[in-house]
Amino acid sequence: MVAVIDYDAGNIKSVLNAMEFLGQEAVLTGDPDIIRKADHVILPGVGAFGDAMQRIRSAHLDEVIRDVCAGGRPFLGICLGLQLLFEESMESPGVKGLGILKGRILRIPDKDAEIGCQLKVPQIGWNDLSYPGKAKDRGRLFEGIPEHSYVYFVHSYYLCADDPEIVKARTNYGVCIDASVESGNVFACQFHPEKSERTGMKILENFLRIH
């Protein structure tokens, strides 16, 4: 069973639809007992970093998420769910993230760092992925997915991870963006696999195969 964590964030329905498409039993829940018993756990979401952390802490879901990640169950953060796993975000100064992974969430610049052209922020649309590691170490989410496959992004902030070894996919939108990470049983994507058509379904399928 897949537990999709409910903390009043957006973009939940599309994740549940993706699980149904893949033939997986999934439940939207904020119940700690159900989340802890699930085979796989997904933390989706769109919205503001600070508001999301307040809701998570108010429901004591921060403790649950840390328990799941420490317990070895496959855990996937999507979009805001990726950002919340890290320590802090420029979007909400002074608000601490979950701190499960090390790194900061920065704002996408208004201009391309190399050519100086204006950028539309938030980034909304398709962009391709590059794999920074060796071919044999591209990450379990991306098995069978060719480099430079396109996925769908909606975000104004991006990850700069402290440890480059956990970064399994990057993209470029005026700046180099750490688009996906893997650390033990913890996985996260800045993009939306549930909205990324065949490539996204393959990513989610790969996640569900991990035990």
Give me the domains of the chain, ranges plus CATH numbers: 2-208 (3.40.50.880)
pTM of the model: 0.95
CA distance linking residue 73 with residue 185, whole number of Å: 6
**40 has which bridge partners?**
2
Query: H/E element holding 156?
Result: none
CA distance linking residue 41 with residue 38, whole number of Å: 7
Which residue, among 61, 62, 76, 93, has the nearest Cα to 26 in the 3D structure? 76
Q: At a CB cut-off of 8 Å and minimum separation 6, what does 66 contact? A: 98, 100
Cα–Cα separations (whole angstroms), residue 21 to 14, 17, 41, 145: 10, 6, 17, 19
Question: Under a CB-based contact definition with an 8 Å cutoff, are residues 155 and 123 in contact?
Answer: yes
Q: Does 183 score more than 80 pLDDT?
A: yes
Catalytic residue annotation? 79, 192, 194
Q: Dig out the tokens for 90 from the structure.
A: 């420029």
pLDDT digits (tens, 9 = 90+) for 44-56: 998 999 999 999 9
pLDDT digits (tens, 9 = 90+) for 122-180: 999 999 999 997 666 789 999 999 999 999 999 999 999 999 999 999 999 999 999 99
CA distance linking residue 158 with residue 73, whole number of Å: 25
Average pLDDT over residues 100-108: 97
**152 has which bridge partners?**
126
